[in-house]
Amino acid sequence: MPFTSRRAALKAFGIGTFGLGLPAAEAKTHKAAKPVQWAKTFDGQRKADLGNGSFLNPVLAGDHPDPAILKDGADYYMTFSSFEAYPGCTIWHSKDLVNWQPITAALIKNIGAVWAVSLEKCNGRYFLYIPTKQTSPGTKTSIYVISADKITGPWSEPVDLDMPHHIDPCHFQGTDGSRWLFLSGGDCVRLSADGLTRLGEPEHVYDPWHYPDEWDVEGFSPEGPKVYRHGPYYYIIAAVGGTAGPPTGHMVIAARSKNLAGPYENHPRNPLVRTTSTNEKWWSRGHASLIEGPAGDWWSLYHGYENGYWTLGRQALLAPVTWNQDGWFDIGGGDLSKPLPKPK
């Protein structure tokens, strides 16, 4: 499976096609019917909360790619890929999924460029599973884990799981208490009871849905798996199509199974999220997570590039989720160019 497709693409494109924007004949910047009067957050960014019971994306403006979110009672915690910025893995806190504040940076030691992480709470302890790319002497391409008794830390020293061939881990605990990491490419590996050691080698459990050949994408690149238990099913949400390629490339897909190890059936309405036109406000939408809202409603966090502002990076976007009678879910919100009702 290709391992460096999205980063290689970033290097290949530089700020060329997307940094300068497509020619006017090919892309039109989205024009809202009425300009939004943005309030400002504590750090001067656009504030998503419009103060009237609605919000307008992004919920976190600027470069916040690959959101990993955790619900812990009435609190929500979220972090992102931090790449070569240290301290890394800044953790943000919210009560309503719309208004966020940073509370700590979990990763202090430089272990390489940090890609899409998994933030979890298991058996009363917090865990961050962190894939890295070697960037300098002393760093390594692998997957690490750090842990803490409190979300604010102190966080432990990184433990190397010695996994150089996968990215985008997602921790999941089975109903029997077993612990697993789901990985890029549809693979997974079992973890020890304390979550600090892998047991054996990764095995393939899931064949992701494939888009039509004629679609304009960067590459297949199945990545960003998130695993959930809802009713009698295990659900996998994943990203395909590549992150840094054409605006229509990145997308969200899903599958389900009654057994964690599969076989998985693909969602009949895949892809659940995809930019279909360069006229849309948000490009390359993907890498989604599901989360239960404060009142029991469901939401999805994912990222996207803002049309006309590609150099701001992938920004954090919030969209409503509906569970249907067929046991499948759908992600709504349209192209996220208009205000939406806040979580209840």
**pLDDT tens, position by position, 277-332:** 999 999 999 999 999 999 999 999 999 999 999 999 999 999 999 999 999 999 99
- Region 133-153 average pLDDT: 97
Q: Above 50 in pLDDT, residue 24?
A: no
Rounded CA separation 286/88 (Å)? 22
Mean predicted lDDT score pLDDT of the chain: 92
Per-residue pLDDT, 33 = 54
DSSP 30-65: ---SS-----B-TTSPBPSB-SSSEE-S-SB-SS--
- Region 10-14 average pLDDT: 39
Q: Above 90 in pLDDT, residue 37?
A: no
- Region 249-274 average pLDDT: 98
Residue in the structure block whose two tokens are 């409503």: 320
Q: Report the SS3 class of residue 13.
A: helix
Closest CA to 314 of 67, 84, 127, 27: 67
High-pLDDT (> 90) share of the chain, %: 88
* pTM listed for this prediction: 0.90
Closest CA to 114 of 130, 90, 136: 130
Per-residue pLDDT, 23 = 40
**pLDDT tens, position by position, 42-69:** 999 999 999 999 999 999 999 999 999 9
